[in-house]
Amino acid sequence: MTLEPFSRSLTGSRERPVVTLARRYAAPPRDVWDALTDPVRLTRWLGAVERDALDPDRVTVRVADAPDSPAEARVRSCVPPETLLLDWEWDTEEPSVVAVTLRADGEGTFLTLEHRLGEPDHAADYGGGWELHLGALVALFGGEQPAPATSAWAGMTARPLEIEIDLPRTPEEVWPAFASASGLRRWWWNHWDDVEIAADVRPGGSYRFAAPGAGIVVEGRYLAVEAPSHLAFTWRWSDADGQSVDEACDLELLRVGGGCRVRLRHTGPWSDDAPAESYRQGWEFVFGALRRAVDDGGAA
């Protein structure tokens, strides 16, 4: 799957959403890293950043559009020019975490920003805000600043699809059914004979499920892989009517008694309830096939 120049997704749970943006920049990782960490360059796309004289790992961030309401951040981890992990506090919000990852892409760089929120109320605001600032960062490298689509984030937070299914197997036994191509082949679209399944199950890895006879492809990239309990991934559905955009899924495998509860959350920038209802029918169908595969002798 080719990486798109820009993508947005909402995963996590209703109580603790995770906002993720990915954008390509026409500059090598070290140049992008410098723009993320140099105070002078930060003012050109984010705002003023002031380091605490007594605690160099703690900084105050005054974003350009709200300089009188600063955020406090502490550097938890820093591996130049690849990863930056920050504990984030703003006003009376619950503490959250911001993770930034850089990856070389030819002569450019893919930047992924993930904001793991501690409460549900500000996901759309943070999504639109980070999108605005990461768009401004484009201008530092000679590109044209894109216009953010803040309405997309409102739709993504407003109408999530949530489904649960209980299975008589432990999370460890069910995990391979989601986290390996061979496990997925046992149940995903197994009512068709021509299904093609590829899955590189790791953060940043891609997957692709294709049913050529039906003219359907689902593909995306893994955002989080935490065996045997959690998968998060982008989702792009393609058929004769076109492609979906800005969709993502979050799967939890919870231990319940001696079995497993699979909890799915599927989000997208939907303007009404029709897409979620259509996906509900599809997910219930494939989860029925998963249940039968488990009942027939496990999920591996």
pLDDT in tens, 173-202: 999 999 999 999 999 999 999 999 999 999
Question: Is the omega angle on the peptide bond into residue 81 within 30 degrees of 0, that is, cis?
Answer: yes
Does residue 185 share a domain with residue 149?
Answer: no
Of 125, 158, 191, the last residue of a domain is 158
Domain that holds residue 143: 6-158
- Whole-model pTM? 0.93
Of 135, 158, 181, the last residue of a domain is 158
Residue 276 has a pLDDT of 96
Q: Are 3 and 208 in contact (CB under 8 A)?
A: no
- Report if residue 300 sits inside a domain: no
Of 111, 128, 158, the last residue of a domain is 158
Does residue 22 share a domain with residue 129?
Answer: yes
Rounded to the nearest integer, the mean pLDDT of the chain is 94
Please choose, from the candidates 17, 226, 235, the residue with its C-alpha nearest in 3D space to the C-alpha of residue 130.
Answer: 17
Q: How many domains does the chain have?
A: 2
Q: Residue 242 pairs with which residues in a beta bridge?
A: 239
Does residue 62 share a domain with residue 96?
Answer: yes
Please choose, from the candidates 224, 220, 222, 219, the residue with its C-alpha nearest in 3D space to the C-alpha of residue 209.
Answer: 219
**Helical (H) or strand (E) element with 183:** helix 181-185
- Report if residue 230 sits inside a domain: yes
Does residue 11 share a domain with residue 152?
Answer: yes
What's the CATH code of the domain at 217?
Answer: 3.30.530.20
pLDDT band at 145 (very low <50, low <70, confident <90, very high): confident
Residue 299 has a pLDDT of 58
The residue ranges of DSSP E strands in the chain, in sequence order, are 6-12, 17-25, 47-51, 58-63, 71-79, 83-90, 96-105, 108-116, 161-167, 196-199, 206-211, 216-226, 230-239, 242-243, 247-256, 259-267
